[in-house]
Amino acid sequence: MPSPRPLRADARRNRDALLAAARDAFLDGDSDAHIEDIARRAGVAVGTVYRHFETREALVEEVYRQQVAELCGAPPALLGEHGPAEALWRFLLLLVEHAAVSKGMAGALAGIMATDSPVFGDARARMAGCLDELLDAGAAAGTIRPDVDGRILLRAMGGVCDLRATEGWREDAARITTLLFDGLRYGAGGAGGGGTEVPLR
Query: What's the pLDDT tens digit per position in 155-191?
Result: 999 888 887 767 788 899 999 999 999 999 998 875 4
Contacts of 32 (CB under 8 A, 6+ apart): 107
Reply yes or no on whether the pLDDT at 65 is more than 80: yes
pLDDT in tens, 108-151: 677 666 676 788 888 899 999 999 999 999 999 999 999 999 99
- Average the pLDDT over each of 32-36, 61-65, 123-127 and give the range with the smallest value: 32-36
For residues 13 and 40, give the distance between their C-alpha atoms in angstroms, rounded to a whole number. Answer: 15
Structural domains in the chain, sorted by start = 9-53 (1.10.10), 56-185 (1.10.357.10)
194 beta partners: 188
Q: Of 125, 138, 126, give the one whose Cα is nearest residue 90.
A: 138
For residue 90, what are the CA distances in angstroms to 7, 29, 155, 201? 34, 24, 17, 10
- Does this model's pTM top 0.85? My answer is no
HSE-CB of 36 using CA atoms within 13 angstroms: 0
- Contact yes or no for 186/194 (Cβ under 8 A): yes
For residues 53 and 55, give the distance between their C-alpha atoms in angstroms, rounded to a whole number. Answer: 6
